[in-house]
């Protein structure tokens, strides 16, 4: 069955989130059923009070999740003025990862779907996000393994030979008025974020690093773009420049000013 594009990338995360809600509701009902006889011993008022509290709890959780899903699917801001990032990053992702493990859904698939879900929420809430200090954060594996320039010390060291995507990415970030940096790992990325204090980040990385980056950078919003790995992981990776340009224009709320260069 064909899945509509608005669901396609997020469907794993959405499905697991609905399942966790069903499990939670089942757990609450089971708990209520177990304590019911004792509540009846106390009195009818005790049963009704606990039932009311349980119903209120489930209504609040499912109402919040419904608005979160609606925002992610339609990419409209139903979460104004709060945003659903803390719930997604701190609660839903760990639960979904666990459920995915139990159901035999790969960590990579759950992670990719989480990134797509997170990006949809960033797009939905774009109008109220501050993009005044936009940082483009890149992984070191984007640099050609044959290149000897020390781009981690500063992307200005790139000679722009076109041997990898870094020159184009650097030019694109310059056009967008965004800071750009290449990080060799999570520790360096965290240090860069602490130093530059961006208000929003566009990150390129593999699914695993994007997931941990989105979690580590919280509360700074991260728009994630998966890299492409034609030579296997962590070596001579590349990225779809159109996705980067589109991501930048989304975050900056203006049309992309970029024309593709021949692929290195």
Min. distance of Cβ 249 from ligand SF4 in angstroms?
A: 23
Binding string to ligand SF4 for residues 94 to 133, with x set by CB under 6 A, is what?
----------------------------------------
Side by side, which strands form the sheet with 222-226? 179-183, 134-139, 200-205, 222-226
Answer for which of 43, 160, 177, 260 binds ligand SF4 (CB under 6 A) is: 160
Does 171 bind ligand SF4 (CB under 6 A)? Our answer is no
Question: DSSP label at 202?
Answer: E
Q: Which stretch binds ligand SF4 (CB under 6 A): 74-82, 86-94, 162-170, 247-255?
A: 162-170
Q: Which stretch binds ligand SF4 (CB under 6 A): 70-78, 105-113, 140-148, 224-232?
A: 140-148
Does 181 bind ligand SF4 (CB under 6 A)? Our answer is no
Q: Are 150 and 226 in contact (CB under 8 A)?
A: no
Q: Which stretch binds ligand SF4 (CB under 6 A): 2-10, 55-63, 161-169, 255-263?
A: 161-169
Min. distance of Cβ 166 from ligand SF4 in angstroms?
A: 4
Answer for which of 124, 129, 138, 167 binds ligand SF4 (CB under 6 A) is: 167
Residue 159 tokens, joined? 């000679």
Does 149 bind ligand SF4 (CB under 6 A)? Our answer is yes
Does 183 bind ligand SF4 (CB under 6 A)? Our answer is no
Min. distance of Cβ 226 from ligand SF4 in angstroms?
A: 20
Min. distance of Cβ 71 from ligand SF4 in angstroms?
A: 38
What 3-state DSSP class applies to 112?
Answer: helix
First to last CA, the chain: 37
Give the integer Cα–Cα distance in Å for 10 and 81: 23
What 3-state DSSP class applies to 68?
Answer: helix
Q: Which of 16, 136 has the CB closer to ligand SF4?
A: 136
Q: Which of 115, 142 has the CB closer to ligand SF4?
A: 142
Answer for which of 147, 188, 234, 252 binds ligand SF4 (CB under 6 A) is: 147
Site size toward ligand SF4 (CB under 6 A) is 14
Q: Would you tell me which residues interact with ligand SF4 (CB under 6 A)?
A: 143-144, 147, 149, 151, 158-164, 166-167
């Amino acid at each position: 069955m064909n899945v509509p594009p608005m669901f396609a990338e997020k469907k794993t995360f959405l499905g697991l989130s609905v399942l966790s809600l069903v499990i939670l509701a089942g757990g609450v009902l089971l708990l209520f059923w177990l304590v019911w006889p004792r509540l009846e011993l106390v009195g009818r008022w005790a049963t009704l009070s606990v039932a009311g509290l349980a119903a209120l709890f489930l209504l609040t959780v499912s109402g919040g999740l419904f608005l979160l899903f609606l925002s992610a699917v339609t990419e409209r801001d139903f979460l104004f003025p709060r945003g659903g990032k803390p719930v997604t990053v701190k609660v839903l992702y760990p639960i979904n990862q666990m459920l995915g493990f139990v159901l035999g859904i790969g960590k990579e698939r759950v992670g990719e779907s989480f990134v797509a879900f997170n990006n949809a929420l960033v797009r939905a809430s774009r109008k109220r996000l501050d993009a005044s200090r936009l940082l483009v954060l890149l992984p070191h594996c984007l640099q050609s393994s044959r290149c000897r320039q020390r781009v981690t010390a500063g992307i200005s060291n790139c000679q722009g030979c076109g041997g990898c995507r870094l020159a184009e990415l650097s030019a694109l970030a310059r056009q967008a008025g965004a800071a750009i940096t290449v990080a060799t790992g999570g520790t360096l990325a965290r240090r860069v974020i602490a130093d530059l204090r961006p208000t929003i980040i566009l990150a390129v990385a593999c699914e695993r690093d994007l997931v941990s980056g989105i979690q580590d950078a919280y509360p700074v919003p991260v728009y994630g773009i998966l890299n492409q790995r034609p030579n296997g992981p962590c070596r001579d990776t590349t990225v779809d420049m159109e996705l980067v340009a589109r991501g930048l224009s989304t975050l900056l709320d203006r049309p992309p000013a970029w024309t593709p260069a021949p692929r290195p």
